[in-house]
Amino acid sequence: MAQAFIGLGSNLGDGKKNLRIAWQRLLEEAGRAVALSPPFLTEPQDMPSTNMFTNAVGVLETELPPYDLLARMMNVEAELGRDRKKGKDRIIDLDLLFYDDLVLNSASLTVPHPEIAKRAFVLFPLAAVSPLHVHPILHMTSLEMLNKLDRKTGVKLLAWENV
């Protein structure tokens, strides 16, 4: 069994509900839950949108190889209404952050995700769910990467209640 870290994000509709539904569907399709971070409300980064994002990181155990896992993730996105042609706002976004200690760089998949260390919306939930997880290229823990970020991040911790 491989351990996969999945970034979840939503900035359309009820973000917490969208993340919960996507996580449940992903578990049905791909594996067993190990952990799910609390949700975080974050400002959009690197995109022209005024809609705040709800972000989380989930860890699952899977028997699927990385490309098959990615295909299932994209199927869940499409099933929940993600249209990649409609622009940057999204009802759901699933990113494969880590797959065990695999380092892979292909046209369709890069693992670990190349932007992890620069993104508060990934690092806050990642550090919450697995603060001592070591990035296989940077050789830094999630917490160390988070501590290197600028603290003016616009990130707010939320709770899962009523979802």
What is the mean pLDDT, run by run of 10 residues, along the chain of 163 residues?
97 94 96 95 73 94 97 95 76 96 96 93 94 97 88 63 52
In the prediction, which pLDDT does 163 show? 45
Q: What is the largest CA-CA distance in the chain?
A: 40
User: Residue 37: what are its φ and ψ, rounded to 5°?
Assistant: -70, 165
In a domain, 92, yes or no: yes
Q: Any idea what the CATH number is for the domain that residue 103 is in?
A: 3.30.70.560
In a domain, 163, yes or no: no
How many whole angstroms separate alpha carbon 82 and alpha carbon 80? 6
In a domain, 30, yes or no: yes
CB 37 within 8 A of CB 8: no
In the prediction, which pLDDT does 10 show? 95
Torsion of CA 109, 115, 119, 121, to 10 degrees: 0
Domain count, the chain: 1
- Residue located via tokens 């997880």: 133
Of 134, 128, 86, 93, whose CA–CA distance to 7 is shortest? 93
In the prediction, which pLDDT does 54 show? 94
In a domain, 72, yes or no: yes
In a domain, 162, yes or no: no
In the prediction, which pLDDT does 82 show? 83
In the prediction, which pLDDT does 34 show? 96
In the prediction, which pLDDT does 152 show? 59
In a domain, 20, yes or no: yes
How many whole angstroms separate alpha carbon 104 and alpha carbon 111? 5
H or E segment and range at residue 19: helix 15-30
Please give the C-alpha separations between residue 23 and each of 46, 73, 148, in angstroms, as whole numbers.
24, 10, 29
How many CB atoms neighbour CB 90 within 10 A?
24
In the prediction, which pLDDT does 153 show? 58
In a domain, 68, yes or no: yes
**Owning domain of residue 40:** 2-157
